[in-house]
Every structure is written in C-alpha cells, then in structure tokens.
Amino acid sequence: MPQSPIRKLAPLATAAKERGVKVYHLNIGQPDLETPQEGLDVLRNIDRHILEYSPSQGFKSYRDKLVGYYAKYKIHLTAEDIIITSGGSEAVLFAFMSCLNPGDEIIIPEPAYANYMAFAISAGAKIRSIATTIEEGFSLPKVEEFEKLINERTRAILICNPNNPTGYLYTRREMNQIRDLVKKYDLYLFSDEVYREFIYTGSPYISACHLEGIEDNVVLIDSVSKRYSECGIRIGALITKNPEIRQAVMKFCQARLSPPLLGQLVAEASIDASEEYMRDIYDEYVERRKCLIDGLNRIPGVYSPIPMGAFYTMARLPVDDSEKFCAWCLTDFNYEGETVMMAPGAGFYTTPGAGHDEVRIAYVLKKEDLLRALFILRKALEAYPGRTL
C-alpha cells in the first residue's frame, strides 16, 4: 500500500507545531467553510433514544431526496440507483471490488487522486496511467494514446471531473471520446464527480451520467464532504443504473452493515441548504482561486495553470525534488515562526519520476491566510538549498 502523499508528511508538521511553528495547511482538501445550518440543526436537535443501524443501502428518505438533487444537474435517477456509502472513499473501494477481478486493469489519467491507487491495490487491480501534463493544462491525450493501453485485461476507465489534483474540467469532446472508448471496448466508466458544485469557468459540466448509450457501464462516485463542508460525517454515494453492479455492491454494503446514521441525517437536511449559502461558498472559492493562482505565478520560477474547478492546483516549483522541499519546509525552515505544508506531486503519479517538481496546493484557507502562505512559500524557495532556477 502506498502512503497518502496528502498525509505522509503529517508527523513532520506535528513536530513543527510542537516546536511552536505555525503551519499553513495547503496540503489537504479540508474546507474551512461552515457546514450548512440545516445540517448542524439536525445534530443540535436530535431526538432519538437509539442510535441504530440504518439499511445497508442507506435511508430511503435520503435517497428519495437525492433524486431531486441530481435532477437539478439533469442526472435522472430513481432511489434504487443510489447506494449510500461511508464517504466517496468507500464508494470507490466498493466500485473496484465489485467490478474488477484481481489482475484487471483500469486506465486513469494521471496525476490522479492518490487514494485511487491504494483502493486499486486493495482490489488487486492494476492501474495503467495515461499521462496528462502541466504544459497542456492537463487536457486528455488523444484516443490513440488510450487505445495503446487497452488489452484483454482492461476493464475500466476512471475519471475525476472536475479533477483533483489538477482542477481540470473535461470538455464535451473529451467526454464523448471517453464514451466512445467505453462503448467500443465495453468498459466500466467510474466517474468521480464530488466537486461538481465547484466549476468556475462557465463551461458546461458534463457528467458521465449524461453520456448516452453507456448507462449500464457508468458508476458515479459522489460525496457530501466537499459540497457541504461535511468531511467528518463520512457520507458518500455509489450510483449506477446497472442492477448487476448494484447487486454486487450490496454484498459489500451488507458486510459493513450500514452507512453512518448521524451522517445521513445531516446530509439529508443539508440538501435544503439555501441558494445563498451555496452561492457564498462558490464566490469564496472563486476569490481564493484567483488569489492563489495569481500569487503562485508571480513567484519567480513557479508555474500553475488556472484550475477550472475543484479547489486544488498542481504547481511546478523550481526545486530538485518537491518531496524533499515539502519536508524541508517543515523540518528546516520557518519565516517569522511560520511555514507551509504542501502535498508532493510525485504521489499523484504512478509513472516513476513524474511530478518530482510539482506540488498539489489546496485553496481551502481564507484569503489572508493564502496570501501569507504564498509569501512564506516565496521565502522558502529563496532559502531552499535545492533550488534549480
């Protein structure tokens, strides 16, 4: 099992804090924004005498309400299509365990959300990475590049849209290209769309569920962690129109008994979050994105493309090895008692050597903290002995 690149430097950050150094966390997608009041009120006013198991597929009332939520995105479902999971994480794991046999291959554009690799290993599946590059803004390679990777063991393509870690949003042309490949080779399409609320460019959001002719191939991965700032309630969903997949997934669901009771109550209530709440959160990320990307590109030697969605960017730094640099920021550096923590890029790639001068930065801190973190990053790069430019 690989260590999570997002969390592996955590002991160094803890040690830095113990020495009295303040650490700006740019490494993790834990939003600092408040959970909707509707969700918090459910916890505050809970009136239950037994905190019991819930059905393995999740509460029907919650799944019914989700049908309405998805309809707003022109994703037309019934409650039967939706299985509630312990976070999007469990949905990814159950999708892999249900659809893939040991030795099966899954094509994933890289850089990719690192835990996909850990879950693939858990399922005995093999990831075949298809490279996207910072120079090309992380757009998808041509169909022929995908076809080069397809063989008799290939079972699935996984996309994350909008993308973590790159912030890339797949275009209609790219989504159609994926649809054609899925159809031609009869593959599963796992589509992780946990960031659909956070698209900043006015470009259309094309869900895998909008693609015609592959309805039975699509498994949608979802989560409330990011959209309602509810990472701790551990509620996600696995959605598919394919009854055979659902049947297999349900066996895993039954084995883990039920998804979190309290989390489902909060998530169900949060669907009623006001438009104003959702708009404020959105506007806040728009501001933060601008602040971070402008700031990064102003630091000599640093380059970041403009992410179209989610709340991350992959930035290139003028350093010999970003993992060494990120560790050094925590162990050997501070500026006026403060430092920054970032996620080293290499952990988001499976190709050896790829991403060694990149870091993933999350813009989940308020603007004044982001500005300060950018200033400290600039100072760190000036002082780092392994600087390359």
Ligand X SMILES: Cc1ncc(COP(=O)(O)O)c(C=O)c1O
Judge whether 237 and 222 are in contact, CB under 8 Å.
Answer: yes
Q: Closest distance between ligand X and the C-beta of residue 184, in Å?
A: 26
- Report the C-alpha gap between 308 and 278 in whole angstroms: 18
Nearest Cα neighbor of 196 from 150, 227, 159 is 227
Compute the distance between CA of residue 66 and CA of residue 177 in angstroms, rounded to an integer: 29
Instruction: Quote the least distance from Cβ 186 to ligand X, whole Å.
Output: 25
Provide the minimum distance between the beta carbon of 29 and ligand X in the complex, in angstroms, as a whole number: 5
Residue sitting closest to ligand X (CB): 87
Cα 193 to Cα 208: distance, rounded to the nearest angstrom: 9
CB of 328 to ligand X, least distance (A): 25
Between 193 and 284, whose beta carbon lies closer to ligand X? 193
**Minimum distance between the CB of residue 195 and ligand X, rounded to whole angstroms?**
7
Q: Per-residue b/e over 180-205, b at no fewer than 16 CB within 10 Å?
A: ebbeebebbbbbbbbbbbbbbeeeeb
Q: How far apart are CA 324 and CA 342, in angstroms?
A: 11
Q: How far lies 135's CA from each of 6, 93, 131, in Å?
A: 23, 32, 12
Range list of H helices, 72-163? 87-99, 115-123, 143-149
Q: Under the rule (CB under 6 A), what is the footprint of ligand X? A: 29, 87-89, 113, 160, 164, 192, 194, 223, 225, 231, 236
Between 6 and 13, whose beta carbon lies closer to ligand X?
A: 6
Q: Which is nearer to ligand X, 7 or 153 (CB)?
A: 7
- Bridge partners (DSSP) listed for residue 193: none
Q: Residue 190 or residue 328: which is nearer to ligand X going by CB?
A: 190
- Minimum distance of ligand X from residue 170's CB (angstroms): 14
Phi, psi of 108 (to 5 degrees): -135, 125
Nearer to ligand X, 33 or 231 (CB): 231
| Nearest to ligand X of 270, 334 (CB atom) | 270
